[in-house]
Amino acid sequence: MVHIALDLNEHDFELIAERATTWGEKWRGQAGRFENFTPGRSTDEIPSWDWPMAYNVGPSWTSVILAGGFLSATSQEYEVVRDTDQNCYWLLTNYETSTWRRRRPGSRG
């Protein structure tokens, strides 16, 4: 395995992510459209509904590697799912970008 060092910041992560949304129970009814692509997991393993955030990184596995690398480097856990309806990958995580945090009601950002 080759290791490559990249400098990514939160702004880069936000540019890689095409869309951000809340995750959780509201998606359970659409579970059939998601395949688990988290390394070491079976594609038919149902993703956790406990993650609060989901970031759509598009159809490229390269974007999964870059965004996942950022999350790992910032000590964030995540799952990767493939959306068969939209032909894209989502990263499910606890991580909220500062842009997302400013959107919260009552935020002073």
Q: 77 in a domain, yes or no? A: yes
Structure tokens at 57: 């990184």
d(CA 89, CA 18): 10
Q: 8 in a domain, yes or no? A: no
Number of domain units in the chain: 1
Q: 108 in a domain, yes or no? A: no
**Is the separation of the CB atoms in 67 and 79 below 8 Å?**
no
- pTM of the complete model: 0.90
Residue 11 has pLDDT above 70, yes or no: yes
Give the pLDDT mean for 16-31.
93
Q: 73 in a domain, yes or no? A: yes
Q: 78 in a domain, yes or no? A: yes
Assign residue 58 a region: left if phi > 0, alpha if psi is -120 to 50, beta otherwise? left
Instruction: Supply the range of the domain harboring residue 71.
Output: 19-96
Q: 3 in a domain, yes or no? A: no
Q: 48 in a domain, yes or no? A: yes
Q: 70 in a domain, yes or no? A: yes
pLDDT digits (tens, 9 = 90+) for 41-85: 998 888 999 999 999 999 999 999 999 999 999 999 999 999 999
